[in-house]
Amino acid sequence: MLPVLPVLVPLGAAALSLAAWGRPRAQRALGVAGTAGLLAAGLALFARVSADGVQVVRLGGWPSPFGIAFVADLLSAVLVVLAGVLGLAAAWGSLSAVDAPRQGHGYWPALHVLLAGVAGAFLTGDLFNLYVWFEVFLMASFVLLSLGGTRPQLAGAVRYVVMNLLSSTLFLAAAGLLYGMAGTLDLAELSQRLRAHPSPALVSAVAMVLLSAWGIKAAIFPVFAWLPPSYAAPPAPVAALFAGLLTKVGFYAMLRVFTLVLAPAGAVPRELILALAALTMVTGVLGAVAQGEIRRILAFHSVSQMGYMLLGLGLGTPLALAGSIAFLVHHSLVKSNLFLLSGAVELTSGTDRLDRLGGLWASRAGLGIVFLVTAFSLAGIPPLSGFWAKLALLRAGVDAGAWGMVACAAAVGVLTLLSMTKIWGEAFWKAAPSGPAAAGPAAGARGGPAPAGPPAARGAAGLLLPAGALALLIVGLGLAAGPAMRVAERAAAGLSDPSAYVRAVLGPGGLR
Amino acid sequence: MGPWIALAVGGLWAAGIFLLLRRSLVKAVLGLALLGYATNLLLVAAAGAARRAAPIVPPGAEALPAGAADPVPQALVLTAIVIGFGVQAFVLVLLKRLHAETGSDDLDHLEGRGP
C-alpha cells in the first residue's frame, strides 16, 4: 500500500479541493494539508524502503509483467520526499503570494494533480504508465502556467505546451516500438528481454527516440528554448515548483530507463550524452550571463545545471550516478528556493529587472541572508550542499579520465558564481535607484498582489518563511553531507546494479 | 500491409513536423494532431498489422488462436486517444485566449513585437 500512497494523497486532496470550489479558506487549508500529507507519505515510504529494500505493489493483483506494478526503490523514495518538500514550500508560499482570483479558479486542484502526476512518474514500474503520469502532470502544469492569462504567461505557455506535446508524442512512439520489439512494457521485464534482443542497433534507435523525448522535458541542449519564457511568467510559487520538479522528472525517466532497461542491452550512447552534457552546461550558463532579469538568469541556470546531472549519467560509474542523484536533490531545493526569493524581491520592489533594483540589503537584510546562502549553494561554495554534489561528479570525472568534462564543469561553476554575484551586487548591494523608474511598472504583473501595498509586503513575508525553511534544509544537507551522500550512493548502487529491482518485481526467477 | 502502414506513419509524421515549423499557431495545433494520429497508427502497427482476428479465446481452448490481434496495443491506443483529445481541447482554448489577447495567431506577435 505504501508505494501507492504518495499518489493517492494528492489525488484525494485534488478531489476534495474541487469539491470545495468557491470556498477559498477550505481550499487553502487543503493545499497545505495535502502537500504535508504527501511529504509524510514520502517519508514513511523512504523509511520502509531504507530498512526493507525495494517495495512493490501490483495493482489489481495481476502478477508482473501482465499487470502494472508500482515500484519504490531508494531513488524513487528520495524523489517522492523531495516532491513533498517542494510541494509544501510552494503551497505555503502560495497562501500569500498568489492572488485571490487565481486561487479561486482552480489553482489548488491543479497543484495537487501536478504533485500526484510527479509522484506517479517517480513510482511506476511500467513504461506506458510512465507516459500516462507524464500527461497527468503536464496537463496540470499547463493549467498552472496559463492560469491568469496575462500576455507573457500565454506566450510562455504556447511554447511550453507545443514542445511538451511533441516530446510526449515521441515518448509514446518509443513505447509502442519497444512493445513491438519486446512484447512487454514492464520496465523490469523489458530489461531482461532487451538484453537478449537480436538487433542491438534497433534498440539503440529507440533509445535515441527516448533521449529526444526526455531531452525536451529535461530542457537539455539544443531543445531548452521553451524553458526560460515559461519559468519567467507564472507566479513565483508556480515557477518554484516547475523549476524544482518538472525538468527533474524528465531526467529521472532517463536515469531510470537508461540504467535499468537500455544499459544491459548496450544501447546507451555515453559519448553522445557526455557531449550533450557539456553543451547544455556551457550554453545554459552563457545564456544566463546575458540576461538582465533575475527570473531569466535563474531559468538559464536551470538549463546549465541539467548538464551536471547528465554528466553523471554519461559517466555511468556508481560514484557518478551518486553525484547525479545528489545534484538532482540539491538543485531542486536550491533552484526552487531561488525562484521563491525572486518572487519576494518582485513583491517588495515591483520588478525583477536588475537595472531597476537595488538597496535590498539595506532594507531587507533577512531576504539578503537567505538569498546569499542559497545562491552560494548553487555556485557550489563549501560547505553547502552544492559543493558536495559537484565534488562527487568531479571526482567521478577524474576517475574516468574525462578531463575535458571536468574542466568544463569547473569553468561553468565559476560562471555560475559570477551570475549569482551579479544578482547579489545589483539587487542587494548597490544603492536603490532613485526616480520614478524605481516604482513598480505593471501592478501584480506576475500574479501576486499589487506591489508596494500592504498585501505585497505580506506576500513577500509569506514567501520568505518557506524560503527560510528551505535554506535551513540546504544548510542542513551541507552539514550532514556524509549521511546524505551515503543515501545517494545506495540509491545509485540500485541503478548501476538493478538486479534487486528486477528480483523484487519479477520474483526470484525473473532475473535471467 | 506493413510497408503501407509504415509509409502512412512516416508521411503523417513529416506533415505534422512541417506544420509545427510554420509560424501560424493554428497550423501548429493541426500538426500536433497529425503527429498524434501517426503515433497511434504506429502503436497498432507495432503489434503486427497482419494479426487481425478478434482476440477471443474460443470455448474449450486454452490460448488465443493464431492470427488473433494483440489486445494490449489497442488498449494503449485507446488511452492515447483519450489523452490526446483532452490535450487538444486545452490547446484550442489556449489559442483562443491568446487570439483574444494579441489579435493574431502568429508566433512573432507573442512577445509584443507585432501590432
Residues in A lying within 8 Å of B, measured between beta carbons: 128, 132, 135, 138-139, 142-143, 146, 149, 151, 154-155, 157-158, 161-162, 165-166, 168-169, 172-173, 175-177, 179-180, 185
The Cα A228–Cα A232 span in angstroms is 6
Q: Which residue has the higher pLDDT, A382 or A307?
A: A307
**The predicted structure's pLDDT at residue B111:** 66
CB contact under 8 A, B73 and A177: no
The SS3 assignment for A70 reads: strand
**The predicted structure's pLDDT at residue B113:** 46
Residue type, B54: A
Residues linked to residue A353 through DSSP beta bridges, in sequence order: A293
> Between residues 9 and 68 of chain B, which touch chain A (CB distance below 8 Å)?
20, 25, 28, 32, 35-36, 39, 42-43, 45-48
Among chain B residues, CA nearest to A165: B32
Q: How far lies A192's CA from each of A183, A204, A232, B64, in Å?
A: 12, 16, 43, 25
Query: Residue B99: which domain range?
Result: 2-51+69-103
Say which of B45, B48, B87 has its CB closest to residue A165.
B87
Structural domain includes residue B115: no
The Cα A100–Cα A336 span in angstroms is 22
Q: Say if residues A103 and A28 touch (Cβ distance below 8 Å).
A: yes
pLDDT in tens, A237-255: 999 999 999 999 999 999 9
**The predicted structure's pLDDT at residue A426:** 86
Interface probe for A, chosen from B17, B74, B81, B83 (most Cβ of A below 10 Å), is B83
- Domain boundaries along the sequence of chain A: 270-432+455-499
Say which of B36, B91, B107 has its CB closest to residue A169.
B36
Whether the per-residue pLDDT at A79 is higher than 50: the answer is yes
**How many angstroms separate the first and last alpha carbons of chain B?**
51
In which band, very low, low, confident or very high, does the pLDDT at B114 lie, cut at 50, 70 and 90? very low
Among chain B residues, CA nearest to A128: B76
**The predicted structure's pLDDT at residue A455:** 66
- Closest Cα of chain B to A508: distance in Å? 26
B6 part of contact set with chain A, CB < 8 Å: no
H-type helices in A53-126, by residue range?
74-97, 100-102, 108-123
CB contact under 8 A, B101 and A180: no
In which band, very low, low, confident or very high, does the pLDDT at A382 lie, cut at 50, 70 and 90? confident
CB contact under 8 A, A176 and B76: yes
Structural domain includes residue B113: no
CB contact under 8 A, A176 and B112: no
**The predicted structure's pLDDT at residue A471:** 92
Say which of B72, B83, B91 has its CB closest to residue A135.
B83
Percent with pLDDT over 70 in chain A: 95
Structural domain includes residue B10: yes
Say which of B25, B80, B101 has its CB closest to residue A172.
B80
Interface probe for B, chosen from A132, A145, A158 (most Cβ of B below 10 Å), is A158
Say which of B43, B83, B94 has its CB closest to residue A157.
B94
**Summary mean pLDDT of chain A:** 89
B99 part of contact set with chain A, CB < 8 Å: no
**The predicted structure's pLDDT at residue A249:** 95
CATH number at residue B73: 1.10.287
Q: Say if residues A357 and A427 touch (Cβ distance below 8 Å).
A: yes
CB contact under 8 A, B86 and A139: yes
| Structural domains of chain B, count | 1
Among chain A residues, CA nearest to B25: A158
Give chain A positions within 8 Å (CB) of B48. Answer: 180
Say which of A139, A176, A185 has its CB closest to residue B90.
A139
In 3D, which of A328, A330, A321 has the Cα closest to residue A378?
Answer: A330
Say which of A142, A151, A176 has its CB closest to residue B43.
A176
ipTM of the complex as predicted: 0.92
Helices (H) and strands (E) in chain A, counts: 22, 2
Phi, psi of B26, deg, nearest 5: -60, -40
Give chain B positions within 8 Å (CB) of A128. Answer: 76, 79
B101 part of contact set with chain A, CB < 8 Å: yes
Least confident interval from A2-16, A104-118, A436-450, B90-104: A436-450
| Angle, vertex CA A351, rays to CA A345 and CA A355, nearest 5 | 100
Q: How far lies A163's CA from each of A176, A234, A299, A476, in Å?
A: 20, 18, 17, 37
Least confident interval from A161-165, A175-179, A393-397, A439-443: A439-443
- Closest Cα of chain A to B59: distance in Å? 23
Average pLDDT score over residue span A87-114? 91
- pTM score, whole prediction: 0.92
